[in-house]
Amino acid sequence: MIDTVIFDMDGLLIDSEPLWGQAMREVFASVGVELSMELASHTTGLRTAEVVDYWHNYFKWRGKSTEQVTNEIIDLVTDKIIKKGKPMKGLDYILDFFEQRKFKMGLASSSPLRLIDAATNHFGIKNRFQVISSAEFESHGKPHPAVYLACAKALGSNALDCIAFEDSITGMTAAKAARMKVVAVPEAHNRHNKRYALADVQLNSLKDFNDDILGQL
């Protein structure tokens, strides 16, 4: 019986993906790398260190270590989220929906825990989750299912009894690999990507989820 819901954060609950893109482009520019929005989209959903390693292997910059670049990106995007970040449409609605139905609620993000804590505290939603899991502490990040499996285990739930909400292909793949039901809410420009057919449900907004959809999962 489905009794647990696990949410991604960036791009799903918080409109932070554009801010991640800005932060990455600004920091990468400091090492002479010009990262377009199109290029940046190739690494959406990965852990920050994995993104930096990927582009370091591609561009071979010098002057700053990958660790330094990673920390600068995390610091900058955290600052941008606090100053400019906005909740996604339907944030309160979807959290209220599952709270009212007594679901166990978790958050499973690729972001480092210090960023998750800063963002969820800023938006006043941290205490609405019984468990918050960061892929920072897993052997593999998304699309590997590790962070979803860890979150389910900490909630005392079987993965088969979980619904995962995701916005990215990478995250959706991770949740499906964990054998969870997946509700995908892609960004508007990405809704026609055929790979989202892997999800059990695809929505345009969190507010589109309802009891009829829940009953079909």
Q: Are 14 and 86 in contact (CB under 8 A)?
A: yes
Contact 20, 9 (CB under 8 A): no
Q: Which of 3, 8, 167, 200 is catalytic?
A: 8
200 is catalytic: no
Active site residue 161: no
- Please report where in the chains the tokens 């505290």 appear, as a residue: 121
Do 21 and 37 touch, CB atoms closer than 8 A? Answer: yes
**Active-site residue, selected from the candidate residues 3, 10, 211, 212:** 10
Residue with tokens 């892609």: 186
- In the sheet with 181-184, reading across from the earlier edge strand, the strands are 131-134, 104-109, 4-7, 162-166, 181-184, 201-202
Print burial letters for 154-177: b (CB count within 10 Å at least 16), e (below 16).
Answer: ebebebeebbbbbbbbbbbbbbbb
Strand partners, 65: none
Rg (CA), the chain: 17
Beta bridge partners of 165: 7, 183
Residue with tokens 């958050």: 107
> Catalytic residue positions?
8, 10
